[in-house]
Amino acid sequence: MGRKVTKTDKEWKVKLTPEQYNILRLKSTEQPFTGEYWNHKEKGIYKCAGCGTTLFTSETKYDSGCGWPSFFEPEMEENIEKELDLSNGMRRIEVLCKNCGGHLGHLFDDGPQPTGIRYCINSVSIDFEKKE
């Protein structure tokens, strides 16, 4: 199954802010402790800033102390894509939105139970929808 959202580079530059484009499309990373959602505590849903796909909920968000929003599992596993990332001299698992291919962050094996994993996500890669 291919990606549902396909845009040209030019279309992404029009849709996204320069910072969103740099992170979602060019796979950059925001500085720790600077993003809008790293210390966010409201209840609701976190969606892909590129296409609006539901990714995480506040129920699986926790304070990992790393400076980025951290989640111990996605809302729906089928909305997440994982790829090996060998950039910057490291071996990591990159987390992408399966719907549009946007770079969200990375996956680490130092999270809390019940999963033991940590989705370390850039705030700029996600939008928040408050739960009513």
Catalytic residue, candidates 51, 97, 100, 120: 120
3-state secondary structure the chain: CCCCCCCCHHHHHHHCCHHHHHHHHCCCCCCCCCCCCCCCCCCEEEEECCCCCEEEEHHHEECCCCCCCEECCCCCHHHEEEEEECHHHCCEEEEEECCCCCEEEEEECCCCCCCCCEEEECHHHEEEEECC
Which sign does the torsion angle of CA 3, 91, 73, 60 carry?
negative
Active site residue 51: no
Catalytic center residues: 120
